[in-house]
Structure 1
Amino acid sequence: MTTLFRNALVLAMDDEHRAEPFRADVLVEGDRIGAVGPDLPVPDGADVVDATDRLLMPGLVNAHVHSWEALFKGRYDNMPLELWMLLSYPILGLEPMSDRLVYLRTLLVAMESLRNGATCLLDDVIESPRQSMDALDAVFRGYEDAGIRANCSGNIVNRPYVDTIPFSAEVLPADLLAKAHEVPPRSTEEYLEFSREALARYDGRAGRLRYVIAPSGPQRCTDDLFVAADELSREHDTTFHVHVLETKMQAVTGREFYGSTLVEYLDRLGVLSDRATLAHGIWLTDSDIARLGEVGASVAHNPISNLKLGSGIAQWRALLDAGVNLGLGSDGLSSNDSARMFDVVKSAALLHKVTHPDYRTWPTADEVLWAATRGGARSARLADDVGAIEAGRKADFVVLDLRSINFTPVNDVPTHLVYVENGDSITEVWVNGQVVVRDGRCLLIDEEAVLDELRGLAGEYLERYAKIEELNRAFEPHFAEIYRRCCSEPMGINRWSGDERAWVQGAAAGEGGA
């Protein structure tokens, strides 16, 4: 199929123009951009679209999302990560979600992503209590059917959750510790065997799907698993995707478990490289940031999730100045609580304006849009294929109506996209040279049927899930004590907007707390 967009306003995000819009024709040939320029000749049989009132921009790349959480959006609030995880990723009593529900859940994430202009995502797929190949197959089928470009992981945790939390052996009662150790984690060899099969089945499927290697976090996996996973990632040139230093508790964890920061520990294992993407990276030290820049690593910045869970504020300017590649992610649909990437774009631009009075260091619209497109593409090992409207790249782009409310009147287009646009102006979304969204509707799936079936199955599932939440609330007061203790630990850095010491002292005196 060949389509020529005539006289579009193009925000190419290529090396030459970055976020500076210009007028041009855009030729789509098959699954790629054939040419970008003025007055392009019309190929035989091409569809010609008058795009005078349209803006074409690369599809947004969601550098970090968890589809597991799609059933829990709007369910939790005012809990830090480690307490929130007790309910959203329970330790006790959880049974696997049905493969059908996994498939529908995946479609829900894809629908919301595509409608809001995200053409590519990295789904760090976590299935509790453990992932099966059938469940992973349901994820890949969902993304294939919806038409989105997706990198999907086999997220692995091979240490019991309580063993990943500092001071848990001191604080948790013996009976709870024993219950938490009843389910044996997957071994390193089991994970490698699973991943090799997944790579053979899914990597490159439909020309837009990949399987990626994603050990959950340094404190959550054994040394041998991290080293072996990195070797497998090198062998297949996949992203090495890992959660690092999302919270202060994790900063304390590095010191207590390894006598160093978690980045220093990963560096000793030899797993830091330009393939590595660190999700969050909030509680990084200056030396951590410098090292990530030296190896060319990426950080997937998740501003909305970090705000909701009270995790802290990542060092945007320091990361960029050090040469760290930044992508933007929504994170999970329970800690965000959506996959809407234009929300993430605006939040990333706003959050870092309150960290320092020097306005010259605040994020620019150009930088934020780069992170949302090219930065995310690089973090997903897709730097040569997506993230820009440029000849030879995949035809993954978004068409927006310049006559919409959000662009009336038109001032500075990049600023409109960062601060004004919310997805309402999108008229079409293209992935791999195919229209997958038109006028707010996904074209490749029956949205009403998906939502109707999902409401029924999810309702039944959540009724059972409420009992599991109650079972796991037994851990809550003990984890709250560990949280308070970690907050009181001096670490030499502070990534909150305020000083935690007054709260810690008040909580210790019984005046408040988690």
Structure 2
Amino acid sequence: MSELLIRGGHIFDLTRSESADILLRDGRIAAIGVGLSTGGTIVEARGKIVMPGFINAHTHSNQALEKGLCDRFPLDAWMVIASYGGTNAELSPRDLYVSALIGAIEMIRTGSTSVLDMPRVNPASFEADTDAIMQAYADIGMRAAVAISYSDVNFPASLPLELVPGMDETLKPRRTAAVADLVSHLDAFIDRWKGRHPLLSPMVGPSSLPRCSTEMFEASVDLARRRGVGLQTHLLSGKSQVMVGEKRYGGSTVDFLKRIGCLEDWATFAHSIWLSDEEVRTLGASSAVAVHNPVSNMKLGAGVAPIPELRKAGGRIALGSDGASSADSQNMFETVKGAAILHRINHEQEDWILAEDALDMCWNGGAAALRQKIGQLTVGHAADIVLLHTRNMFDAPRDQLAGQIVHSELGGSVDTVIVAGEIALQNGRITRIDEAAIHAEAQEIVSRLHAGLPERMRRAQDFMPLFRELERRVSKTQLNFSRFCG
């Protein structure tokens, strides 16, 4: 039996704001009260704020070494640069291990204790790649649900190319993988990791609906249901994807998800931007989780997700940083603030998202996305806890304290991070890995990635006339949006 006592801190979550001790036992919160004692480790928290760890419900660990990759590129052009690579863009299993650690270091340093990661891997080294990523999270001691990302059609298949006549044959949609092969890889991944480590959960991650054939997506849903694991995908992150869905599914993409039984509590949908009013109602009435990514959506000009509308419709909403090559940061303080203030520019005051609303999406929405008892300082919940020093903050009533955490903090106050009762960050130091050595190795990988960047940029520029023409034609097409969403 392992015990740890957090003594004398100001406990803050969505249900309490008080000074008390927290006793952690065997990875869970065992007691909360005044004057608690233990024979185990004691963490002095007097003068500090004690809160649940943030939950990052959508990112891509394979991008953690690509901060600052590109600027002023919209979503589709960014996809060519970041996701479909070019010279020196492929990552080895060791590269993916280092990249996952770099992302985890940043998340832990800025108060995240849990992540839902959706990394791309090389189909030719699927087993080695996936195991390297899982091992990285095990080594640093971070809670992680890992939805391996895959697709079975090429990038042009995700675009409404029929709008642009005379397309080059090299840009035609085509299959890139066999459904049975991918399902076999995923089944084996789940076999290796389900129940193997208390902090790690394998998931399936069909990249997005347009980037998967209907057969592949339905097979992914069947696999998640059959194996009892979660599924994450990207949903309507670009306006043109509405048209792809209408052609492929004969109507609404969300209706298609409902027909195949995918709007369940084990399914999470990143971005969820270009939803019609009816789709908002359908998704909101379901038990699935939409994951809001305000920072990357703004940077890529992808659109503004209908989060206030989804909240009114009863939707379950989590928050995610998205990958570092689009959002450039894995800092959930930035994401939480973005979620709180973005929608004020196009909604009436009564629909504004308050600081506690943003924290609720991060904590309770994130817990729903990972389907775990996290995000609360409650007896029986996982002992995933963050201590903030108050050199830059002030003890205050709960509304004002929530406001400080959401609107004025960037992560510099994070002092101690505890995951499942084990200290992952203490006095600003990562405890379980040699951070300096990992950073040095990461720099070598980054230098290699940057050496191939000019070719990747040229490749994206070759696509730009197509993207501009598609954007022009999509913008002229009447889509059913009665509200502002981008």
> Would you call these one fold, judging by a TM-score over 0.5?
yes
2:142 equivalent to 1:148: yes
Quote the residue 2:106 is aligned against.
112
Which amino acid is the alignment partner of residue 305 of structure 1?
S
Corresponding residue number in structure 2 for 1:512: none
In 1, the alpha carbon distance for the partners of 2:323 and 2:461 equals 21
For residue 32 of structure 2, what is the aligned residue in structure 1? 36
1:380 corresponds to which letter in structure 2?
L
CA deviations on 1:434-456 (whole Å, 9 max, x unpaired) are 10112222111111111111112
How far did 1:159 drift? 1.3
Could you tell me how far apart the structure 2 residues matched to 1:327 and 1:497 are? Answer: 18
**How many angstroms apart in 1 are the aligned matches of 2:118 and 2:483?**
25
Residues 310 and 472 of structure 1: CA distance in aligned 2, closer, same or farther (over 3 Å): closer
Contact kept, 8 Å, 1:95 with 1:128, in 2: the verdict is no
- Separation (CA, whole Å) in 2 of partners of 1:480 and 1:131: 35
Q: Write the distance in 2 (CA, Å) between the matches of 1:232 and 1:241.
A: 12
- Asked whether the 8 Å contact 1:96–1:129 carries over to 2, the reply is no
| Shift in Å, 1:466 | 3.2
Q: Judge conservation of contact 2:277–2:481 (CA < 8 Å) in 1.
A: no
- Picking from 62, 82, 88, the partner of 1:88 is 82
Partner residue of 1:364? 354
Question: For residues 44-123 of structure 1, what are the structure 2 equivalents within 5 Å?
Answer: 45-90=39-84, 96-123=90-117
Q: 1:250 to 1:48 in 2, by over 3 A?
A: same
Equivalent position to 1:219, from 210, 220, 223:
210
Equivalent of 1:431 in 402, 419, 442: 419
Aligned-pair distance for 1:64? 0.3
3-state SS in 1 of match to 2:263? coil
Change (3 A) 1:497 1:410: same
Whether the 8 Å CA contact 2:65–2:442 is kept in 1: the answer is: no
| C-alpha displacement of 1:410 | 7.6
**Residue 382 of structure 2 aligns with which residue?**
394
Give CA-to-partner distance per residue, 1:114-156, whole Å, 9 cap, x none: 0000100011111367762111111111111111111112212
Deviates more, 1:249-258 or 1:302-311: 249-258
Q: After alignment, is 417-426 or 86-95 more displaced?
A: 86-95
- Alpha-carbon distance, 1:30 to partner: 2.1
Q: Which residue, 370, 377, 387 being the options, matches 1:380?
A: 370
Aligned to 1:413, which of 365, 381, 401?
Answer: 401
Q: 2:295: which partner in 1?
A: 304
* Distance verdict in 2 for CA 1:248–1:271, change over 3 Å: same
Q: Letter of the 2:364 partner, please give it.
A: R
CA-CA distance at 1:495 after TM superposition: 6.6
Segment drifting more, 68-77 vs 123-132: 123-132
1:209 equivalent in structure 2: 200
Q: In structure 2, what is the Cα distance between the partners aligned to 1:101 and 1:137?
A: 12
Q: Distance in 1 between matches of 2:228 and 2:483?
A: 33
TM-score (norm 2): 0.94
8 A Cα contact 1:91 1:161, kept in partner = no
What amino acid does structure 1 have at the position aligned with 2:235?
A: V
Residue 336 of structure 1 is matched in structure 2 by 327
- Structure 2, unaligned stretches of length 5 or more? none
Deviation at 1:231, TM superposition (A): 2.1
Question: Is the contact between residue 274 and residue 485 of structure 2 (CA under 8 Å) also seen in structure 1?
Answer: no
CA spacing shift, 1:449–1:91, aligned 2, 3 Å: closer
Deviation at 1:465, TM superposition (A): 4.4
Larger CA deviation: 407-416 vs 428-437: 407-416
Deviation of 1:480 (Å): 2.1
Aligned residues: 484
Partners of 2:267 and 2:289 within 8 A in 1: yes
Equivalent residue number for residue 262 of structure 1: 253
Question: CA 1:495–1:161 in structure 2 vs 1: closer, same or farther (change >3 Å)?
Answer: farther
SS in 2 for 1:312: coil
Aligned partners of 2:189, 2:198: CA distance in 1, in Å?
16
Alpha-carbon distance in structure 2 between the residues aligned to 1:338 and 1:392: 32
Counterpart Cα distance in 1 of 2:281 and 2:482: 18
Measured in 2, the distance between the counterparts of 1:201 and 1:478 equals 43
AA in 1 matched with 2:216: L
- 2-structure distance, mates of 1:422, 1:185: 42
Which deviations, in whole Å up to 9, do the C-alpha atoms of 1:315-352 show, x marking residues without a partner? 12211121111100001101111100001011111101
Q: Is the 8 A contact 1:151 1:380 kept in 2?
A: yes
Out of 138, 154, 166, the position equivalent to 2:160 is: 166
Amino acid in structure 2 at the alignment position of 1:119: T
Matched position secondary structure for 1:220: coil
* Partner in structure 1 of residue 477 of structure 2: 489
Conservation of the 8 A alpha-carbon contact between 2:204 and 2:230: yes
After TM superposition, give the deviation of residue 190 of structure 1 in Å: 1.1
Is 1:319 paired with 2:315? no
- CA distance in 1 between counterparts of 2:197 and 2:261 reads 33
Distance 1:168 1:150, change over 3 A: farther
What is the aligned partner in structure 1 of residue 8 from structure 2?
Answer: 7
Please state how far the C-alpha of 1:71 moved relative to its aligned partner: 2.5
Alpha-carbon distance in structure 2 between the residues aligned to 1:483 and 1:451: 40
Instruction: Check the 8 A contact 1:55/1:400 in 2, yes or no.
Output: yes
The alpha-carbon deviation at position 408 of structure 1 amounts to 7.3
Relative to structure 1, is the Cα distance of residues 430 and 83 closer, same or farther in structure 2, using a 3 angstrom cutoff?
same
Instruction: Give the letter aligned to residue 103 of structure 1.
Output: Y
Matches of 2:420 and 2:116 in 1, distance apart?
16
Partner of 2:445: 457
Q: Does the 8 A contact of 1:162 with 1:168 survive in 2? A: no
Residue 389 of structure 1: CA displacement?
Answer: 1.2
- Between 1:332-341 and 1:129-138, the stretch displaced more is 129-138
SS at match of 2:5: strand
**Residue 345 of structure 1 contacts residue 418 of structure 1 at CA under 8 Å; is this kept in 2?**
yes
Q: Structure 1 pair 189/495, CA: closer, same or farther in 2 (3 Å)?
A: farther
Matches of 2:209 and 2:315, distance apart in 1:
20
Q: Is the 8 A contact 1:150 1:210 kept in 2?
A: yes
| Pairing of 1:155-194 with structure 2 (within 5 A) | 155-167=149-161, 170-171=164-165, 173-177=167-171, 181=174, 184-194=175-185
Alpha-carbon RMSD:
2.2
The equivalent of 2:240 in structure 1 is 249
